[in-house]
Amino acid sequence: MIHQHTRSPLITPDPPSPTNWRRRAACRYSDPELFFPRGRNQHARHQTEAARAVCHTCPVVDQCREEALTMQRDDGVWGAMAADERRTLKQQRTQAAHRATRRP
């Protein structure tokens, strides 16, 4: 009797994709509400700081911030930045890009 041996497929890591970073995010087990404070009162400020504390331990904080900027996330804490901070950063980047293109 001849036995045929078949190879099982090799397990390979997930191919790179724009959202794979989320699997490594420090916030993946946190309550999502933490990252979406409501209002501008003291409780909301404390909540924002608590969310940032999680972000500051995160290995993918930069990817998170860039996605928030690219996807124009208008609320919440993403990449350790609140929405108003992301708007300011985006404006600064836009202005810098315009200045760079005007130089001879």
Which structural domain, as residue segments, surrounds residue 72? 25-102
pTM: 0.75
Q: Kindly list the distances between the CA atom of residue 44 and the CA atoms of 1, 26, 47, 64, 68, in Å, as whole numbers in the listed order.
A: 73, 21, 5, 21, 20
Residue list, annotated binding site for [4Fe-4S] cluster: 27, 55, 58, 64
Is position 72 within any domain? yes
Contact residues for 83 (Cβ-Cβ < 8 A; gap 6+):
73, 74, 75, 76
Q: Distance (Å, rounded) from C-alpha 100 to C-alpha 36?
A: 35
- Coil, strand, or helix at residue 48? helix
Residue 12: per-residue pLDDT: 47
Residue list, annotated binding site: 27, 55, 58, 64
Q: What is the pLDDT along the chain (104 residues), one digit of tens a residue?
A: 454 544 444 554 445 566 689 999 999 999 999 999 999 999 999 999 999 999 999 999 999 999 999 999 999 999 999 999 999 999 999 999 888 888 66
Tally of domains in the chain: 1
Show the tokens assigned to 73.
């996330």
Is position 71 within any domain? yes
Is position 85 within any domain? yes
